[in-house]
Structure 1
Amino acid sequence: MIQLQELKVGERYEVQPKDFHRRFIGKVHELNGNSVLFKVENYDNCDQKRITADKLVEVDALDVKVPIRNTYFFS
């Protein structure tokens, strides 16, 4: 589990909010105490109604699962 002090504005994370069916990927937009405001980049269609037009979603800090790192794979 990621602790709030490890989260950084502008970093990408995989997030699983309680009221979402699937995880989404987003960038931290703002840190607010125990909640985090994310700018959603990628989400599943089944959660489309939960994403607002500005694609900002506020979640509990405990809903943040893993950081998304830039990795490259060459075959």
Structure 2
Amino acid sequence: MVKDIHEIQIGERYEVKPKGFHRAIRGKVQKVTAEKVYFEVEQCELVDKEIASKSPIVAADIFDIKKSLTEHYFFS
């Protein structure tokens, strides 16, 4: 879990549960301010498709960020 907004880098991908969404989304950081991180929705659940299509850029608090998706995983 991200603890400091200064750890967030533009262009990185995160799993985020923004306010208004039923499930976590996967998004790419577009902008970082002192209070909010703005994500471009790259993937979301079917239940949230309508919300994401209306607003493909969503604002989230630091506490909404669940994990970074920039680590490399190997599945065999």
Q: Quick check: TM above 0.5?
A: yes
| TM-score, normalization by structure 2 | 0.84
Q: The residue matched to 2:23 in structure 1 has which SS?
A: coil
Runs of 4+ in 1 over 4 A off after TM superposition: none
Alignment match, 2:15: 14
Larger strand fraction of residues: 1
Which sections of structure 2, spanning at least 5 residues, go unmatched?
Answer: none
Identical aligned pairs, as a percentage? 35
Q: Give 5+ residue unaligned stretches, structure 1.
A: none
Pairing of 1:58-69 with structure 2 (within 5 A) = 58-68=59-69, 69=71
Residue type at the aligned position of 2:27: G
Distance in 2, matches of 1:52 and 1:34, equals: 24
**RMSD of equivalent CA atoms:** 1.6
